[in-house]
Structure 1
Amino acid sequence: MSFDRYVAICQPLHYAAIMKQQLCSHLVGAGWVIGFTLSSYHLVLLSKLTFCGPNKIQHFFCDNSPLFKLSCSDTSLLWKADSVLLSFVVLGSLCLILVSYMCIFHCILHMPSASGRKKAFATCSSHLTALAIAYGSCIVLYAQPTEEVSLETNTVVALLNTV
């Protein structure tokens, strides 16, 4: 979506030529393939866990942290895999989006008309708000060291992320 905004704001006359159906399909397909591949790998690691004791998770959904706390087996590999996934997927995509928006803001600041700048900022504001909520809650949920994870905090932040 940030690439679409970039092309719409910084290359408006070339928008139809750049954002063709084929490019949009490739972007969506790449996102799905990467997400499915990484989730499948993580699911394989989760399926190897053993559980003993309580089987109720105090959470809205079966999230990693509460699930790891219920496991009797060693979860250090899963914590490391989560860290790698967070770094690669969340922070990597966030960096790409931020680079795109830095280019957009550079273009906006060099627009000659104030009404054009206002319209461009209005176009981006809702997307930036959604990004801040989604990425902020993801980073709060998954970037904490294992000993600092509070299930109560995770539950509230997960609710914000879900909503």
Structure 2
Amino acid sequence: MIKKKYIDNLCIDIPININVNITNNILNISGNLGNIDLKFSDLLIINIIDNKIILKNNTLNHRYNKNNSYIKTIFSIIKNNIFGVNFGYTKKLIIVGVGYKFNLNNDLLIINAGFSHEIKYKFPNNIKINLLNNNEITIFGIDKQIVGKIASIIRNYKKPEVYKGKGIRYCNEKILIKQSNKKK
């Protein structure tokens, strides 16, 4: 018989410059860079006691409780949000190829990636994209999920190919280049 571990409560320390409020199953976290609202289910009880966020199960019988993964996920999201409103998250993208480049026009990212047309991507107001040079951009925001999603969307416009490595890639991503078939 396999014994399962059940989580009774998890605890997160709140830094001094972060404000946390709970109203109607919505956790509001505000800091130097902005604020984030997180809605959570009734399966979870969140309390703030002595500058600590305490997460607890809302079910009486732990034997039939199946929301451990939900509690761990919310725990991780709250930790990421606290870090995000304090410091923020960045992703760096690089475009590789002859004639491939990024351009920035207010809240519009223009991508030239070898197609017959330019790709225009309008990014949200809470995200900042900085153009380091024609081939590199950084994406900055307070929500880790949104920054990762936007970086993924931009990368999917032209994924790196495996024969020459041309395309959009993350800064630290390594592409395995295949050897092409050559005639003898």
Which TM-score bucket, shorter chain as reference?
under 0.3
Which structure would you say has the larger RCO, counting Cα contacts within 8 Å and 6 or more residues apart? 1
Query: Greater share of strand residues, 1 or 2?
Result: 2
Bigger Cα Rg: 2
Q: TM-score, normalised by structure 2?
A: 0.23
